[in-house]
Structure 1
Amino acid sequence: MARSQLTAPSLILSNVQPLPPVSRIVIALAQTVLTWDLRRHGRRALRNLDPHLLRDIGLTEQAAAVEAEKPFWQD
Structure 2
Amino acid sequence: MSACLIFSNCNGPDPDPDPIDATSRGVSAVGQVLDDATNEPIENALVTIQDVQAIPMTTDSDGYFRSGSDTKPYTGKKETLIRIN
TM-score by length of 2: 0.22
More helix by share: 1
TM-score by length of 1: 0.23
